[in-house]
Chain A
Amino acid sequence: MTGLEVRGLSKRFGGLVVSENIDFDLKPGDRKALIGPNGAGKSTFANLVTGILAPSGGEIRLDGRDISRMGEAHRVKLGIAKTFQITTLFPRLTVRDNIRMPILEREGRGYRLLRRADGEAGIEAEVQSLIDQFELGDLADKPVRDLAYGQQRLVEMALTLALKPRILILDEPAAGVPSSETSLITRAIERLPQDLAVLIIEHDMDLVFRVARKIVVLVQGRILTEGTPSEIAANAQVRELYLGGGHD
């Protein structure tokens, strides 16, 4: 089968069980959201899938192939990419340089010593088209640390998309973004390539209900339930969790 299959995945930090027996699928074209209270283990799950963390048990398969012991770099090459909950960019480099970096790595240019990094017309065209896609044209030659946070989130999405992933994980793309700028993020997510498999971790329910076609609810490391947005909205347990727990 194609896509991502997670079976019986678990992760412990010492005595703390942060992921427990998680089964999860993500296929090309999927738009899934992973929601749950703070500390539920959402980011940990994302880190297990991308290889930043090693699982304590269970399996992660990509296109039927077990990748659970594979390093982060290798998984990137196979097409798994993510944006971080806290923006992780090259702050003093320009938007253009930020977006070029993953393309150079993807194309195996990283050990070149002599040619200029910005000297390949094909790569520059690709950088420019991502800049256009995310409407960053006016900011392209500014250091990203000078950008508003919402725009930085867009740069991170553009940078991650530059890897040409097949599985894209967005860890709270709207976190820390002022509400005036969330529509930028929503629009960018809506415009992602159709065949891309997308997992969005998010607390902003407006965003989740606009872009997700399936929602997975994670509580204390376990999957509580999975369903369509309307099923999840009607689910008594979920309602209690969100209304009772005082989360937005």
Chain B
Amino acid sequence: MRFLPLVFVALAAAAFFVFPYDLAFLTRILIMIVLVLSVDLILGYAGVPTLGQAAMYGAGAYAAGLFAIHVWADPVAGLIIGGLAGAALAFVSGLIVMRTHGLTAIMLTIAVAQICLEIANRARDITGGAEGLRGIRMEPVLGLFAFDFIGQTGYWYALIVVCVVFAALAVIGRAPFGMSLRGIHESRDRMLAIGAPVYWRLVLAYTLGGAVAGIGGALAAQITQLVSLETLSFTLSAEALIMLILGGTGRLYGAVIGTVLFMTVHHLAAANDPFNWLFVIGGMVLAMVFFLPSGLISLGHALKGGRK
């Protein structure tokens, strides 16, 4: 397990050289991994399901896009702005969502994203509405690495952001805060009975998840130089959740594996059969639920004949 992160980075680096003509697609995978990791913090660590993570992703994307156009086109500054926007939206909505449980909470996360989508759609003068936010021209990363139209800089930039986010979430997962989220996931009653402020822990987890999603959105805005309404869509939230469940929740690797698998299947199947690819994904999810309920990360364990 110790070397797994290195293996992933090595594979990602190898992919750069093996698929030089698919960098745009590979970069989209990396951006999506950031979003799915943010869902893993909330669902995998804390056990709170969400179907509205696109709200924070979209908020980060629009904030970073607008910041680049109107204020400063520095990429790293834009990431910070995107993260802050995602965190702020998550904090405010989290104050309400975390008061509720189960289905009510899920419905609220959906509602927040729908409201954001509607606002972005109406505020056409600022967001570009259905046309999307255009005209984002980023400066070189750290003043050194200019974005090129093949997407080489974008790929490495996204890969580094994924690594930083992954490492940060891994550290948080082992820290007292991360442990307390696992505690809430395992037994809310027990956490309350040892005096833990469960509600505020969850609000903070949701806020951090929002920051990560916002960073993912900012990354997308900077690399694709466009923010469309789809960044706030229900489809995006739902796909992020499916990718995580495919890979397995709670251990971060699941987010990486699930995203790579889902997007690769989508890419190949949609190219071959643009109408029926959803059946392939649906079949995969069903197979997973029946045979590997803990997700793909448990595959090795299952093959060895161990308990899930």
Question: Which A residues are within 8 Å of any B CB, using their own CB?
Answer: 50, 52, 72-74, 76-77, 81-82, 84, 88-93, 97, 100-102, 104-106, 109-118, 159-160, 163
Contact = CB atoms under 8 A, between A and B. Distances in A.
Interface stretch (B101-109, B180-188, B234-242): B180-188
A92 B186 contact: yes
Contact of A110 (B172, B177, B189, B193): B177
Contact of A90 (B190, B197, B201): B190
Contacts of B191: 101
B263 interface: no
B217 interface: no
A89 B195 contact: no
Contacts of B192: 52, 72-73
Given A72-B195, A77-B195, A89-B190, A113 B172 contact: yes
Contacts of B176: 104, 109-112, 115, 117
Contacts of A104: 176, 179-180
A112 B172 CA distance: 8
Contacts of B178: 113, 117
B187 A163 contact: no
A77 B183 CA distance: 18
Contacts of A90: 182-183, 186-187, 190
Interface of B: 171-172, 174-180, 182-183, 186-187, 189-197, 201, 204
Contacts of A81: 193-194
Contacts of B180: 101, 104-105, 110
Contact of A88 (B171, B174, B193): B193
Contacts, number: 93
Contacts of A82: 193
Given A93-B182, A110-B177, 4 more contacts: A73-B192, A90-B187, A91-B187, A117-B174
14 contacts: A52-B192, A89-B190, A100-B179, A106-B194, A110-B196, A111-B176, A111-B204, A112-B176, A113-B175, A113-B178, A114-B172, A117-B176, A160-B194, A163-B194
A90 B191 CA distance: 9
A101 B194 contact: yes
Contacts of B187: 88-91
Contact of B193 (A72, A74, A118): A72
B194 A116 contact: no
B193 A113 contact: no
Nearest to B177: A113
Contacts of B201: 110
B174 A116 contact: yes
A88 to B, nearest CB: 5
A113 B201 CA distance: 12
Contacts of A52: 192-193
A84 to B, nearest CB: 7
Contacts of A159: 190, 194
Contacts of A84: 189, 193
Nearest to B174: A116
Contacts of A88: 187, 189-190, 193
Contacts of A50: 193
A116 B196 CA distance: 18
Contact of B175 (A74, A93, A112): A112
Question: Top 3 A-B pairs ranked by shortest CB distance?
Answer: A76-B195, A90-B186, A102-B194
B195 A105 contact: yes
A84 B187 CA distance: 12
B213 to A, nearest CB: 18
Contacts of A92: 186
Contacts of B182: 90, 93
A125 B179 CA distance: 18
A72 B180 CA distance: 17
B28 to A, nearest CB: 29
